[in-house]
Copies of this chain bind each other. A is one copy, B any other.
Amino acid sequence: MAGFRARLEEARRHKRSAVCVGLDPRFDQLPHRFDSLPPAHAILAFNREIVDATADLAVAVKPQAAFYELYGADGYGALIETVRYARSKGLLVIVDAKRGDIGSTAEAYAQAFLHPDGTFDADALTVNAYLGSDGVQPFLDVAAKYAKGVFVLVKTSNPSSGELQDLEIAGEPVYERMARLVDAWDCEAVVGGTYPAQARRARELMPRATILVPGYGAQGATASDVAVSFRPDGSGAVVNNARGIIFAADPAKAAQEMRDAMEEFLSHRRSEATPPGGIGEAR
C-alpha cells in the first residue's frame, strides 16, 4: 500500500480537491429530523449523510474526537463507525484527537488509532508533541508500517496560540523549532490558516510534510490565507472546514464551492509559479 502522503496526493489529483470536511457535529445543532434519535445515533446518521454528500468533492474528513467523547461510550462508538463509514466511501480519515503521551502510553494510542487491528484503523491522527520525540516515535512507527499519517501540531489556529508557540528560543520561535522536529521526523503537520506569515515559514521549514490547515471559514481564514501552505505546484496541503460545510443548507454545494474557490486560487498561483514551457504539475 502506498504511504499516506502518496495516497493523499493521489486523491487530491484525482478529485481536484484539497477539501477536508470537519465532522464536528453538535447534537443541538443538527437538523430537526434527527431530534428523535439518541445523540450518538443522531450524530452517526448525520455524518453518513455528510459523507455521502461530500465523498466526491473532498479528499478527507476530520472528525474531532471531543464531540463524540461528549456522548459517552455510545458517542465513542459513533466515532468508530464514522471512521469506518467514511473510509468505505473512499475518503481519507484524519482523526483529530491531538493525542500525545510518554512512550508506552503513546504506543497504546498509536495502536488504538492507527493500527489495522486497533479501535479505529484511521488513515491519520493529529498528535501533540509537547513531550518530545519519544512521545511521537510510537506513532511514527505504526504509521510507517501501515502507510498511515501523523499530523503534529506546529502552529495552531486559535487566538492565544502565540503564548507559547511564538516565544523565541535563540531567536527562533517555538513553532519553528517544532517545524524542524517535524521535518526531522518526516511526518505531517497542523498549521493554522489564521496566521499566514507563520504558515509561509512553516511551509519552508517542512518541504516534505503534508500540512493540515484548520481555520478556514468560521475561524476567518480565506483561500488566499491558506494558499501559502501549499507548494507552488498546488500539492502538499489539505484545508479543513467544519461548520461551513456540515451546517450549510446544502453541504454538497458548500463543499463544491470551497473546492472550486481553492482550486481557482491554486491554479492561478501555479500558473504564476511556472515559467513558460515549465512543468507546473511536477513533484
Contacts and interface: CB of A to CB of B under 8 A. Distances in A.
Contacts of A77: 72-73, 76
B164 A132 contact: yes
Q: How many copies of this protein are present in the complex?
A: 2
B178 A119 contact: no
Contacts of A108: 64, 66-67, 69-70
Contact of A132 (B73, B118, B160): B160
Interface stretch (A5-13, A94-102, A141-149): A94-102
B130 A130 contact: yes
Interface string A114-147: 0000110000000011111111000000000000
Nearest to A101: B98
Interface string A84-110: 000000000000001111110110110
Interface string A147-162: 0000001001111111
A161 B131 contact: yes
A112 interface: yes
A226 B47 CA distance: 47
Interface stretch (A167-175, A199-207, A248-256, A266-274): A167-175
